[in-house]
Chains A and B, each alone.
Chain A
Amino acid sequence: MKNSDNISEGKGNSRALHPFMAMVNKEISDYIRSWRFMILLLLVFLTCLGSVSVAISNIDEAVKANATGDSFIFLRLFTASDGTLPSFFVFISFLGPLLGLIMGFDAINAEENRGTLSRILSQPVHRDYVLNSKFTAAIIVLSVMMFSLGFLVTGTGLIAIGIPPTADEFLRIVFFILISILYISFWLNLSIFFSVKFRQPATSALAGIAVWLFLTVFYSILVSLIAKAAEPSANASAGQVMAYQEFVMNLFRVLPGQLFSDATTTVLVPTVRTLGPLTVEKIYGTIPGSLPLGQSLLIVWPQLTGLVAATVICFVLSYISFMKREVRSR
């Protein structure tokens, strides 16, 4: 830590920076200036613009359909769709993994291949700073991106429909963005792990995309196969059918994508009261209505915990493998 001045002076900054922060700053500027990020940003921006325009053109129907109940009109900006283009939160659930993978797939191995990793490590910094700063910088960039996207949608919607969001709606939007960041950071950590594991960036990118494809496409096919095999007979008891349904649902809940869509649906649609199968004993006597934000969050708390856990596991794996590996200069 005594040498912190060295690095900061070397970067030409007048203010003394913690070496970790200096590394994070550097990483951020690297991300921002990369073509990859630009392309990604453009992609995400365009798709989101498309989905928001669809939502705005459909919001009058959504308002009409919702005229009797609690009108969380503003949240419909994020969920409304006419079927031609998916809504905003579906886009995020689709593009988020891609965003995380692209941000992290070459985090370590590219440095290694360029030979810059041993140079950094020759500086008086802790070794884990390299990994941590990569992760932190990516998270900061992603957070800024997601928040600006979310608020862009909010602002556009405000201009288009002229109805300001309530405090509850605004908080729900903020939580939606936070959950999105959490979800993307899972994929980021996964790709960082691959970048530690595989020497070639192409391999790690491929591995990441393979996992993504498997989890989004093939896993559900696999689950449906298992579900078909485990399907109870036509004259099974209600309890067996229930157990079967829960079993299938739990198989899907292994997926981070499922956790994310559960969480965002519940946060963005206040009338969602439960995510599990509904039995008559739970429904009997209910009155349709919306939940307060705290209750919505409590419903998806297991999902959020699962997402956090998955993210932390990926981080821990990449951390251990990075700290244990041998770094040599070429």
Chain B
Amino acid sequence: MSICTCSLKTIFAAILICLSLNTAASAPLDSVKLYTPFLKISVAPGEAVDYSVDLINNSDEIINAGITVSGIPASWNNTVKSGGFNIREISVLPGDKKNFTLRVEVPLKVNRGSYRFQVKAGDFDELNLTLIVASQGTYKTEFTTKQANMQGTSTSTFNFQTTINNLTADNQHYALTADYPPGWVVTFRPNYQQATSVDVLANGKVDMGVDVNPPDNSKAGTYKIRAMVATNASTAALDFEVVITGTYGLNLTTPTGLLSTSITAGETKRIPLVVQNTGSLELSNIKLESGAPLNWEVTFDPANIDRIAPGESVQVGATLKAYKKAIAGDYVTTMDATIPESTSRISFRVTVKTPMLWGWVGVFIILGALGGIFYLFRKYGRR
């Protein structure tokens, strides 16, 4: 029996030696493993990935391994946690395993692609992990409109329909601002209310109207309006193009504004007139016409004006010639300044006076008659 027990002891010893030899030889390299089940994960920007990693110690020694993560972009946050602690180094008993959690936060602003990084447990083992960012990175706001160009006159209001698309993973509070030429008014109307800021839920959309009101005296041309939505982290801008076609404004008046005059029948009178361009477009080929009483003559000097720049005015003289048989009293004469697009009319009240000529003739007839009496007095008066 002694032989038996002896042989058993040697077998155990040999096994033990074998085991101890084995561990002693491969403990630093092969017998310590890092393990996690999911090596490639597809994530959306802004998501956080929790890797559950096991550190397996197959050696027969206690190992101490420092956990490091390398190859992760600097802006990505990562934490290694286990048992409620942020950990840097783990110790594992022989034949045991320890679990820790690696949390990787993919930022919102990230380009799409594959990101590889390594988790190292000291010099023992390393894990190659891959995060696939499937969509383009999204610390981003989309501010879009279907129609960014509008045309109208300087008196119209341009209403742009826009959409704010919050692609970020957070609710955002956007400030609404705009760059525009002086004198213009830009109004934001998210949810049909006039506002200066708007809340958009994460990955939500808000339709917003942008009213652009140019000053009435704007000249024709193309104007750029930049509307901006901004948070502390994200901004988006949208360029609107407003094409103002300009208005035709024509006004005929007199320098003093007085619209009445007096004239002696059969004679002429010169009336100074002013043709004003009150619109925002240059006026060209302005015709001056008149609607005078019958047999009256109205001539304009000049009868045609080639062009008037916006805001400018041109002096014109109208020469009125009254019909010589016009009766005394008030007549109305209309004068028009006409362009194909517009017309301006003034009504002139012309007070006609009858010429004094026949009055003087009457006076001379009476004087002649009285002279005849005087002659009679001399001749027959018997003085």
Contacts and interface: CB of A to CB of B under 8 A. Distances in A.
Interface of A: 126-128, 273-274, 278, 280-282, 284-289, 291, 295-296, 298-299, 301-302, 304-305, 308-309, 312-313, 315-316, 319-320, 323-324
A289 B262 CA distance: 14
A286 B373 contact: no
Contacts of A280: 294
A324 to B, nearest CB: 7
Interface stretch (B105-113, B239-247, B304-312, B358-366): B358-366
Nearest to B327: A274
Contacts of A273: 327-329
A298 B354 contact: yes
B383 A308 contact: no
Of all A-B residue pairs in the complex, the 4 with the closest CB atoms, nearest first, are A285-B293, A305-B362, A323-B380, A312-B369
A298 B380 contact: no
A304 B362 contact: yes
B358 A301 contact: yes
Interface string B365-383: 1100110110011001111
Contact of A286 (B330, B365, B383): B330
B292 interface: yes
Contacts of B294: 280-282, 284-285
B359 A128 contact: no
A69 to B, nearest CB: 12
Contacts of A312: 366, 369-370, 372-373
A305 B365 CA distance: 7
B328 A298 contact: yes
Interface residues of B, number: 34
Contact of B380 (A284, A313, A319): A319
Contacts of A313: 369
Contacts of A301: 358-359, 362
Contacts of A324: 380
Contact of B295 (A281, A286, A296): A281
Contact of A289 (B329, B369, B373): B329
Given A312-B366, A312-B370, 17 more contacts: A127-B381, A127-B382, A280-B294, A282-B326, A285-B331, A286-B329, A287-B332, A289-B329, A295-B353, A295-B354, A301-B358, A301-B362, A305-B362, A312-B372, A312-B373, A323-B376, A324-B380
Contact of A274 (B293, B328, B349): B328
Nearest to B329: A273
Contacts of A281: 293-295, 323, 325
Contact of A316 (B327, B372, B383): B372
Nearest to B331: A285
Contacts of B380: 128, 319-320, 323-324
A231 to B, nearest CB: 25
Contact of B381 (A282, A286, A323): A323
A287 B382 contact: no
B356 interface: yes
A239 to B, nearest CB: 14
Contacts of B370: 312
A287 B351 CA distance: 9
Contacts of A305: 362, 365-366
**Which of B293, B323, B326, B362 has the most chain A CB atoms inside 10 A of its CB?**
B362
B359 A315 contact: no
Interface string B302-343: 000000000000000000000101111111110000000000
Contacts of A289: 329-330
A308 B358 contact: no
5 contacts: A127-B382, A287-B332, A313-B369, A316-B373, A320-B380
B322 to A, nearest CB: 10
Given A287-B349, A309-B369, A312-B373, A298 B359 contact: yes
Nearest to B364: A305
Nearest to A132: B377
A309 B366 contact: yes
Contacts of B293: 281, 284-286
Contacts of B359: 298, 301
A308 B369 contact: yes
A291 B329 contact: yes
Contacts of A126: 381-383
Given A274-B327, A301-B358, A305-B362, A128 B381 contact: yes
Nearest to A298: B354
Nearest to A270: B329
Contacts of B366: 305, 308-309, 312
Nearest to A313: B369
A307 to B, nearest CB: 10
Contacts of A296: 328
A156 B380 CA distance: 47
Nearest to A310: B369
Nearest to B355: A298
A287 B295 contact: no
Contacts of A316: 372-373, 376
Contacts of B296: 285
